[in-house]
């Protein structure tokens, strides 16, 4: 393990490979998704904000083209049971490596809830209802959950969740079943009925993906991660994928990943032939959104995120809010007020040059947002404070 990749080298790689340096920005959204393996899509706004932070010419229309017109990006409930927007090219590997196993667990969980919280439901009725939904969707071409519920009334039935608990509540069968069908790879989310911030979207059928052996798929996903995020540790990979350590070790071995020394004494991994150092880059700033893939790319984050900044920038569940970056480090947070004004606060002194660069990035972001107002799905202490 002769190669030592310093934290400075990791930050230089991040600037290039995460397309955050102005000279590295992409022209198409597919390039961004490929560079990051996938874009976090739990919050509808994140896909647009993350992509446009890395596009040479930011545009919401460019993201909509990839998602809905060309269907070049597909949203899958996959790594860590998180929704990722991945390229159509990578979707079969992500499905085989992560989404299918999650769908099996989702089905078992739904059957359990139906057995205890709804009347007249069993595995046979669930299968029948799924067939009816797929047939109705094939007839309509595209439909919302509410529209499908007209064709398949069973979707309107409800499940009592957490019965007897103070937080018991009812959920519609439709909301759970359609999510399951999407996890199984039968249907996809289409363009929302409203702005690109809306979570009210119709569904459409998708053609079946080619079968990929699970072991091969896991190696492909890990290989993409190492190409974009390496060096990283086994702990990083285990956390990011949500897989067992054994599964991660097998994929790493299949790839022939190479060990490198990291600052602090840890052992990192890179793809074979990726041990060389990169030349320094010019200073750069970035404003990244809540749940951005770069912020959540590693489990061990001290090399780009000082622990003392975490309480202000993350919620109690570990979700990050909007962040300000300077030369590969998180240095503060930003928010958008109700009137549209973009505001930020630096939690680290970055000097006059850094402050000017952050201001320029804020102006760039405000320019393409225009009249759109964005509120993160998961609110963090600093974001709330900036918007109060």
Question: What pLDDT, in 10s, does the model give residues 244-298?
Answer: 999 999 999 999 999 999 999 999 999 999 999 999 999 999 999 999 999 999 9
pLDDT reported for residue 284:
98
Q: At what angle do helices 234-241 and 245-255 cross, to 10 degrees?
A: 120
Number of H helices, E strands in the chain: 15, 14
Would strands 4-5 and 258-262 be described as parallel, antiparallel, or unpaired? parallel
pTM of the model: 0.93
What tokens were used for 86?
Answer: 């991945």
User: Per residue in 334-361, pLDDT tens?
Assistant: 999 999 999 999 999 999 999 999 999 9
The pLDDT > 70 percentage for the chain reads 99
**What is the average pLDDT across 109-133?**
91
pLDDT reported for residue 205:
95
CB 202 within 8 A of CB 172: no
84 DSSP β-pair partners = 40, 76
Residue 1 pLDDT exceeds 70 = no
CA distances from 297 to 13, 80, 88, 143, 336 (A): 13, 12, 21, 34, 24
pLDDT reported for residue 194:
79
């Amino acid at each position: 393990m002769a190669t030592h990749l310093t934290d400075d080298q990791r930050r230089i790689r991040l600037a290039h490979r995460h397309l955050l340096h102005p000279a590295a920005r992409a022209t198409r959204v597919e390039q961004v998704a490929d560079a990051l393996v996938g874009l976090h899509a739990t919050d509808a706004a994140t896909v647009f904000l993350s992509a446009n932070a890395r596009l040479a010419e930011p545009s919401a229309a460019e993201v909509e083209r990839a998602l809905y017109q060309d269907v070049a990006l597909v949203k899958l409930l996959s790594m860590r049971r998180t929704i990722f927007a991945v390229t159509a090219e990578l979707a079969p590997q992500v499905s085989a490596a992560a989404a299918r196993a999650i769908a099996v667990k989702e089905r078992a969980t739904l059957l359990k809830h139906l057995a205890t919280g709804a009347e007249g439901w069993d595995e046979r009725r669930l299968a029948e209802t799924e067939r009816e939904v797929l047939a109705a969707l094939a007839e309509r071409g595209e439909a919302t959950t509410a529209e499908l519920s007209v064709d398949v009334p069973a979707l309107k039935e409800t499940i009592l969740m957490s019965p007897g608990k103070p937080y018991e509540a009812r959920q519609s069968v439709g909301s759970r079943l359609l999510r399951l069908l999407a996890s199984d790879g039968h249907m996809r989310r289409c363009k929302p009925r409203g702005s690109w911030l809306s979570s009210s979207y119709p569904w459409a059928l998708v053609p079946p993906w080619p079968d990929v052996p699970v072991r091969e798929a896991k190696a492909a996903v890990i290989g993409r991660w190492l190409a974009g995020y390496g060096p990283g540790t086994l702990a990083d990979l285990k956390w990011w994928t949500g897989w067992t350590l054994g599964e991660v070790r097998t994929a790493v071995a299949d790839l022939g990943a190479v060990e490198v020394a990291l600052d602090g004494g840890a052992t990192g991994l890179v793809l074979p032939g990726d041990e060389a150092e990169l030349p320094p880059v010019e200073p750069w700033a970035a404003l990244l959104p809540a749940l951005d893939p770069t912020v959540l790319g590693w489990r061990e984050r001290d090399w780009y995120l000082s622990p003392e900044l975490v309480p202000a920038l993350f919620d109690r569940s570990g979700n990050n809010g909007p962040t300000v970056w300077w030369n590969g480090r998180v240095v503060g947070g930003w928010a958008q007020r109700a009137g549209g004004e973009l505001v930020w606060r630096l939690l680290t002194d970055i000097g006059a040059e850094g402050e000017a660069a952050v201001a320029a990035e804020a102006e760039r972001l405000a320019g393409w947002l225009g009249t759109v107002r964005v509120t993160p799905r998961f609110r963090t202490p600093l974001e709330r404070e900036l918007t109060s």
